[in-house]
């Protein structure tokens, strides 16, 4: 190897990814402690933050200044003379009192996913989930839906991570030719709310298990959209889907294996009229499987969390769509690694 090549190749990328859990855990801890919510009210000194979060002297400034170096906090002054404030993105997305808060998914990542990912090797060698079920607990959704506090945390997490995608979908797709929409696995009704606000003519159904309906109804009532959005209970495995001009599924298909994916797509096809559309919102993996790292890692997360779930490419979905009767499929990019696939009956 010549000296020129040696100068060009560095281990920095390897170290950045390999030690990435340091940065991740620092941010997740700050979110869990509510640091960014406190700072949304104005600048605070290190001492004031220490008192609010009950922190020890030893690592106080290392913790806060790491968040400065990572770009999540701004600072003027140094150590005892410093004041700290939120960066623009932290202030918008990590303040629990703002509707734009996405910290729910980060809270869930800290409380659940972080320890489970320590067993990725076992997931890869056994093909079995590494979550609560490993120690005799209930399967993921059964456990979450049985506990209202965990269910609310899960719904807030899913809504937070999807809100940017839902906003873009509601704004950028022409819904003018449709009168009705059903969001399957509608969770807290976030997608229905955004579509209804952007399209006053459309009637929406947010369809999910009975335990979810009170939470969805609360959200719909909060936005004053009871006349436009119906919350309906059902089980998409046991029941047929409500009939509508548009069926949406946000991060639903990746939870299940191929057989169940096909079943859900077929149920959507049956519930749609001719010319109706099925819209899938997922972190669609690129067909070459070498660009959307987040989508690929989400698929690994499904291996850790579910029995058979996995994420997929547009080509994968086109094959399933053709098998179930759809003849026209296209994809539109949403935000970050997420996309929507629109299949027309």
Residue 254, exposed/middle/buried by CB under 10 A (0-12, 13-18, 19+)?
buried
For 10, other C-beta atoms within 10 Å of its C-beta total 9
Is there a contact between 252 and 208 (Cβ–Cβ < 8 Å)?
Answer: no
How far apart (Å, rounded) are the C-alpha atoms in residues 327 and 321? 7
Show the beta-strand stretches assigned E in 140-292.
180-184, 203-208, 229-233, 246-250, 277-282
Neighbours of 134 (CB within 10 A): 15
CB of 271 within 8 A of CB of 292? no
Residue environment code for 270-287, b if the CB has 16+ CB neighbours within 10 A, otherwise e? ebbeeebbbbbbbbbbbe
What does DSSP say about strands 246-250 and 180-184: parallel, antiparallel, or unpaired? parallel
Question: Does an H or E element contain 340, and which?
Answer: strand 339-344
How many whole angstroms separate alpha carbon 220 and alpha carbon 187? 12
Please give the Cα distance from 79 to 55 (Å, whole number). 15
Q: Which two tokens stand for residue 143?
A: 């456990």
The tokens describing 200, both together, are 């006053």
Cα 165 to chain centroid distance, Å, stands at 9
Radius of gyration of the chain (CA): 22
Residue appearing with tokens 């010319």: 275
The catalytic residue positions are 254
Q: CA 168, CA 188: separation in Å to the nearest integer?
A: 18
d(CA 191, CA 35) in angstroms, rounded, equals 28
């Amino acid at each position: 190897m010549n000296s020129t090549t040696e100068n060009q190749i560095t281990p920095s990328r390897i170290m950045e990814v390999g030690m990435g859990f340091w940065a991740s855990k620092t941010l997740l801890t700050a979110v869990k402690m509510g640091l960014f919510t406190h700072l949304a009210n104005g600048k605070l000194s290190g001492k004031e933050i220490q008192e609010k979060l009950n922190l020890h002297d030893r690592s106080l400034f290392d913790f806060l200044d790491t968040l400065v170096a990572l770009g999540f906090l701004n600072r003027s002054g140094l150590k005892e003379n410093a004041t700290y404030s939120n960066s623009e993105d932290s202030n918008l997305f990590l303040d629990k009192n703002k509707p734009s808060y996405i910290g729910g998914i980060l809270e869930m990542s800290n409380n659940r996913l972080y320890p489970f990912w320590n067993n990725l090797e076992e997931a890869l060698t056994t093909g079995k989930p590494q979550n609560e079920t490993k120690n005799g607990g209930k399967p993921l959704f059964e456990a979450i839906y049985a506990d209202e506090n965990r269910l609310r945390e899960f719904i807030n997490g899913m809504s937070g991570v999807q809100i940017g995608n839902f906003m873009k979908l509601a704004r950028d797709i022409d819904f003018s030719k449709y009168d009705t929409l059903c969001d399957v696995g509608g969770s807290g009704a976030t997608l229905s709310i955004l579509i209804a606000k952007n399209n006053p003519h459309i009637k929406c159904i947010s369809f999910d298990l009975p335990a979810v309906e009170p939470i969805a109804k609360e959200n719909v009532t909060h936005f004053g959209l009871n006349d436009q959005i119906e919350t309906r209970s059902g089980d998409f495995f046991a029941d047929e889907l409500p009939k509508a001009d548009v069926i949406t599924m946000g991060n639903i298909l990746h939870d299940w294996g191929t057989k169940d994916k096909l079943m859900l797509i077929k149920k959507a096809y049956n519930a749609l009229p001719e010319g109706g559309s099925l819209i899938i919102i997922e972190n669609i993996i690129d067909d070459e499987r070498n660009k959307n790292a987040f989508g690929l890692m989400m698929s690994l997360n499904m291996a850790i969390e579910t029995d058979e779930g996995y994420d997929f490419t547009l080509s994968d979905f086109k094959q399933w769509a053709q098998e179930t009767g759809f003849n026209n499929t296209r994809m539109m990019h949403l935000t970050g690694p997420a996309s929507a696939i629109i299949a027309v009956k």
